[in-house]
Structure 1
């Protein structure tokens, strides 16, 4: 067992990483709450600030997936498609099979510089989850109740409001 593997197995280090994530997440959520005063004044500035704040939280999870667990996410596509990544708004449809699929999606977003501005179509219940749900709220994530009759207008209006997003974003559906 190498030094890195030994360090990863230490409970106190695992606890420290969890503590750092929770504390930094709460600080980020508080700062995001403070940025709400910007919304009526300058919506684009609000969005840019919250994009950076969410990046600082999501990048911790991407680090855990790639470095800590050693998970490799491979994207299969042609070069012409890759050349467009991070240079336009995109809607991505993922086949959601595992609990960490969203982390793999975030890993790909990180590689192409859109992690902070990535969006998802999420279950409404996730809005109540501390840190992640709260951050998604400030990022204008589209929440659905899984009833198309009710969600149709929510999805269309949510996507419509994101058209003028100041940075390129990926909207992921799983």
Structure 2
């Protein structure tokens, strides 16, 4: 029965409707909370926005774990694991596929920082319904991928981050865009031209942003998390797989690097980041060949790591059930009435609403597509 629901258009539509309707409701309430910051209650406004964000973003791990059966195995040193979720951190992650975000949302929920996850994202995401609006309310850093303007945007945002009173994760994809074979070709041409080692599983990282951010956060953020994810079977899943409820397995490895080990001098910081990505490339190559990470002494930097399977979160399940109980029955009843018992105008409006939800869900799914001006 559940399998039929996952593969049905109706099941996917109700999932999309619940996610977007819940998000729209949360966005409206968050909008009402914004003026609090204008009249001297900035921290209270932030706390309200964060708590409201959890009520929406909890749907992501709920759908991931209870609908799509995403199975995440975390690898890290035990001492590092005890710090996850209990300190501010800069996350440097490989940008492998459309589910990168979903994995981080699940990890953040597991360590109780889901509502405090931030990221540096392209400015076009700001207008994406529900997701982009939530990012704006949560003070994500929106960049235009323009060296002339992005530096100022980042500096201003980091100054704002210094006033956060809660622990947060700031996620940065240093490759600047998601990996594809065409972009890899452009990346390797750049690497050869500039005396760098070409990478097999990653694009050459953009170092200026990382250097600027690590310097700006040095006094308030104690660590950089070097995050690498791989998918057993060497097949990168898509958001369509996710929505379709197809089982996905994820291997995730995290290395905690104290912020004082990150060089402040730009050229040394650049080499430091390149070394991180060379390590990531070794990790992904080993995983591709052995379907596991090299935590048994094969790579000294990861020796001592242990495996931890992220259990399904019941609180996220409770949140999505609550939203579905509140939103689905009234929507179904009203839609059926307007379609079959209402006036012609009501039937047209009901049909347009259904079409609008379907189109908006496609826009959200498309926002994860690998389109960029990389290499231009």
TM-score (norm 1): 0.93
Q: Deviations over 1:10-55 (max 9, x none)?
A: 4323221211111111111110110011112211111111111111
Q: Where does structure 1 lack aligned partners over 5 or more consecutive residues? A: none
Report if the CA contact (8 A) 1:118-1:172 is conserved.
yes
Aligned counterpart, 1:30: 28
CA distance change for structure 1 residues 83 and 137 in 2, over 3 Å: closer, same or farther? same
SS at match of 1:74: strand
RMSD: 1.3
Q: In the TM superposition, what whole-angstrom CA distance separates every residue of 1:100-125 from its partner, at most 9, and x where no partner exists? A: 10111111111100000110101000
Which residue of the other structure, out of 5, 11, 14, is the alignment partner of 2:12? 14
Q: What does 1:124-139 align with in structure 2 at a 5 Å threshold?
A: 124-139=123-138
Pairing 1:78-117 to 2, within 5 Å after superposition: 78-117=77-116
Corresponding residue for residue 171 of structure 1:
170
SS of alignment partner, residue 92 of structure 1: strand
SS in 1 for 2:76: coil
Are the structure 2 counterparts of residues 159 and 74 from structure 1 closer, same or farther at C-alpha, using a change threshold of 3 Å? Answer: farther
- How does 1:72-83 map onto structure 2 within 5 Å? 72-83=71-82
1:132 shift after superposition: 0.7
Asked whether the 8 Å contact 1:90–1:170 carries over to 2, the reply is yes
Aligned residues: 172
Conserved in 2, the CA contact under 8 Å of 1:48 and 1:167? no
TM-score, normalised to structure 2, is 0.44
Q: Which residue of 1 aligns with 2:139?
A: 140
SS of 2:114 mapped into structure 1:
coil
CA distance in 2, matches of 1:47, 1:74: 32
State whether structure 2 residue 34 is matched by structure 1 residue 39: no
| 2:158 corresponds to | 159
Paired with 2:129 and 2:46, the residues of 1 have a C-alpha distance of 20
